[in-house]
Structure 1
Amino acid sequence: MNTKFIAILTNQGAAKLANATALGTQLEITQMAVGDGGGTLPTPNPEQTALVAEKRRALLNSLSVDANNSAQIIAEQIIPENEGGWWIREIGLFDNEDTLVAIANCPETYKPQLQEGSGRTQTIRMALIVSSSDAVTLKIDPAVVLATRAYVDDEIQKHAKTRNHPDASLADKGFVQLSNATDSTDDTLAATPKAIKTVNDDVAKRLLRTDMPVGIPLPWPTDTPPAGWLKCNGATFNKTKYPLLAQAYPTLQLPDLRGEFIRGWDDGRGVDAARPMLSTQPATALRTGAMDYYGNDDSGDNRAAGLGFASEDSLLMGQPQNAKMPSGGLLPVEGYLNDNAMISLTDTKWIAEGSRWITVRPRNIAFNYIVRAA
């Protein structure tokens, strides 16, 4: 024959629950007791006011409404490992006035003590159907109850899912909302690594633009410019892609500095006058052969001769200040020295060869001129 395990309200419990429901108050269930039934499995009797053979009574750990049945409550108690030495066959629930309000039988189980060599923590649960679960409440002292692992896991899971946590502030820890904003003044948002990287990159660019503005040309030792730089090779560029570069070079064309020397802009000084910014200038040319003063190559006459020139920076008439002789001494200030003439009694001869001109350059080293573009 199958054994039936049941949980019922006692007559006193049913009366108290009905009264609480009628008055809109609550029945406070506070304690659970276990007993051994006097050595045999008892059958719950609503007339009972006590367990058959009570072994232990203590505060409940929890009292909750069954998630699958709103008319059923579940009472739970934990018996620690240091208590026991008896069988558990009956369970009772008591209210705050020590009245037995519910009673149940359960499968027989022995609760050992530690000194018996097999002590354990044991959880006892009673599921009880009531007419109104709203009229039942748990009244306990949380300082003297234990929590089951399942209860703790459930509470942690609930806590993890809930959004009812305090927000962090400058003074207290708490929840924060992540933000990718890089220009916000909100002190309740937390910056993401993406936002921090964006700021770092922007700061690096700003510092570089301050120390080395977009558009500045620099000599570079390899044939490939670094990222953000372009060769100064006369190429055109896209204004949309390089807006700051377009401010420096409105024609949208880079200067061609291949094989060129950079010269300081005259800016009204008069040394290299009448030249606009970024204008080019050819080299000064010197003729390798002497010609007469009037530019003829006639032979057979005594004429003043000298070197022809082209593309000069300036032309100084007369003797310059501090002019020196080939020996290094100062050239005397004499009128005949200002006529740009050289007389030789040796007859000059015409040679049938084309004229040759040379340009003069300083000592130099080749670098690749590049320009900061972004």
Structure 2
Amino acid sequence: MSAKFFALLTVIGANKLAKATALGTTLKITQMAVGDGGGTLPMPSEEQTKLVNEKRRAGINTLFIDSKNSNQIVAEQVIPENEGGYWIREIGLFDDEGSLIAVGNCPETYKPQLQEGSGRTQTIRMILTVSHTESVELKVDPSVILATRESVDNAIEIASKSILDTVEKEYATKDEVKKKFDNSNIVHEKGVSKEKVISQKGVTELFQPKGNYQPVVIMSLLRHLI
């Protein structure tokens, strides 16, 4: 049984990708369009230069290589809840010159408008299999991009790991601070009070360069030592 829903490179897209691969350049994918197919489910054709009945075209949110298949490129676009009022049956990818690079169809879905009493944010995804994924590049306008929950979660995970790696490499631990300083030389009793305060000698010692130790971090850790 042949597939009912699929995406493919157009003749223009295949030629541009082959040229980019041969010259060592990249094919810049910039936009995704959706359409209603003129009321019926269209069959994608390599000869297409446009969608059957385009309803919306806007910048792509993200384009990435599938982590489970290195020959698959995944393109995503988020349609905000305040746009809609049409059916979605066809999808197209366009480059920075406005050429239709890839076209596909999808199970029909209605994108409502808020004025109709129901609104939702909808993510449209197209998956393409190509032989040279390194020849495809995403070009976006960051001022009009909406993030999917998945892309935000991935960005947070990457940023968190980077911060932890930096902290581990650059900042002193509490035990390291204990080894670096002698408490008896850093604090003294204030008059008859048993309260401990940082001595002048301690302050001077703290702000002397100590390899990669950071004075601000050491001061913070010192509060727990005294």
The normalised TM-score by structure 1 is 0.48
What pairs up with 1:248-327 in 2 under 5 angstroms? Answer: none
Amino acid aligned to 2:14: A
- Report deviation, 1:177: 3.9
1:43 corresponds to which residue? Answer: 43
3-state DSSP of counterpart to 2:49 = coil
Matched, 1:151 2:151: yes
Matched, 1:86 2:86: yes
2:19 corresponds to which residue? Answer: 19
The 8 Å contact of residues 174 and 221 in structure 2, kept in 1 or not, is answered as: no
Deviations 1:110-159 (A, max 9, x none): 00000001111100000001120000000011111100111111111121
Deviations 1:275-315 (A, max 9, x none): xxxxxxxxxxxxxxxxxxxxxxxxxxxxxxxxxxxxxxxxx
| Structure ID, larger Rg | 1
- Report deviation, 1:180: 1.4
Unaligned 5+ segments in structure 2 are 181-205
3-state DSSP of counterpart to 1:162 = helix
3-state DSSP of counterpart to 2:150 = helix
Q: CA RMSD in A?
A: 2.5
2:198 corresponds to which residue? Answer: none
Unaligned 5+ segments in structure 1 are 168-174, 201-374
What pairs up with 1:156-305 in 2 under 5 angstroms? Answer: 156-163=156-163, 176-181=171-176, 182=178, 184=180, 185=206, 186=210, 187-188=213-214, 190-191=217-218, 196=223, 199-200=225-226
- Report deviation, 1:183: 5.1
Q: Which has the higher helix share?
A: 2
The 8 Å contact of residues 59 and 77 in structure 2, kept in 1 or not, is answered as: yes
**Change over 3 Å in CA distance of 1:2–1:119 after alignment to 2:** farther
What pairs up with 1:326-365 in 2 under 5 angstroms? Answer: none
2:125 corresponds to which residue? Answer: 125
The 8 Å contact of residues 89 and 109 in structure 2, kept in 1 or not, is answered as: yes
CA distance in 2, matches of 1:3, 1:131: 21
The 8 Å contact of residues 180 and 195 in structure 1, kept in 2 or not, is answered as: no
Between the two proteins, what is the percent identity of the paired residues?
A: 58
1:54 corresponds to which residue? Answer: 54
Amino acid aligned to 1:180: D
CA distance in 2, matches of 1:93, 1:25: 19
Amino acid aligned to 1:49: T
Return the structure number with greater relative CO, CA threshold 8 A, min gap 6. Answer: 2
- Report deviation, 1:162: 2.6
The 8 Å contact of residues 180 and 191 in structure 1, kept in 2 or not, is answered as: no
